[in-house]
């Protein structure tokens, strides 16, 4: 059985995003009165009253800068929620945010999209993730929300 490593946005990147996001703007910090925002820093939903920020994030661009990949037109940035201040990160190694429709988008080592898959059922998520890594050409998988297309987190082989 394939083991997967679910990756939140890392602490160094979070520090940068809390100063200026990937669009060059300062973060839009707010108190989340209702809770429920999917936090990419600790991979859980926000609780009512937490201070969060909405920032623009370019996950593939940042990965490509570290690896030398050239994603070309596949490079994109979009909105993500993070804690407005430093947080301890994820608690445990659970695979989060699987209770709704998700898209698994596979990428090659050069940053090209290899395909995607809609996962409509929480019980089908783990098998779909295992299937996404079936080919050796898959370097990483991005999990995205269907409703807004937002990046949720990156998954790699463990």
| pTM recorded for the entire structure | 0.92
Locate the domains of the chain by residue range. 9-83, 102-157
Q: Report the pLDDT value the prediction gives residue 2, as an integer from 0 to 100.
A: 54
For 30, what's the count of Cα atoms within 13 Å in the CB-facing half-sphere?
11
Q: Report the pLDDT value the prediction gives residue 1, as an integer from 0 to 100.
A: 43
Alpha-carbon gap, residue 56 to 36, rounded angstroms: 19
> Using an 8 Å Cβ cutoff, are 100 and 145 in contact?
yes
What backbone phi and psi angles, to 5 degrees, belong to 88?
-75, -5
Ordered mean pLDDT values, 10 residues apiece, the chain (158 residues): 84 97 95 97 97 96 93 92 95 86 95 95 93 95 91 93
Q: Report the pLDDT value the prediction gives residue 6, as an integer from 0 to 100.
A: 94
């Amino acid at each position: 059985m394939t083991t997967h490593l679910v990756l939140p946005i890392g602490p160094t990147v979070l520090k940068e995003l809390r100063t200026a996001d990937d669009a060059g703007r300062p973060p839009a910090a707010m108190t989340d009165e209702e809770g429920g925002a999917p936090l990419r820093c600790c991979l859980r939903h926000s609780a009512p009253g937490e201070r969060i920020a909405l920032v623009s994030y370019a996950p593939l661009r940042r990965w490509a800068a570290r690896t030398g990949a050239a994603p070309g037109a596949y490079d994109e940035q979009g909105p993500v929620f993070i804690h407005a201040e430093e947080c301890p990160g994820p608690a445990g190694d659970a695979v989060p945010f699987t209770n709704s429709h998700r898209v698994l988008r596979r990428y090659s080592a050069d940053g090209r999209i290899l395909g995607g898959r809609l996962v409509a059922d929480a019980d089908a998520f783990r098998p779909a993730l295992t299937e996404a890594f079936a080919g050796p050409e898959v370097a990483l998988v991005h999990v995205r929300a269907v409703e807004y297309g937002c990046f949720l987190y990156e998954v790699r082989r463990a």
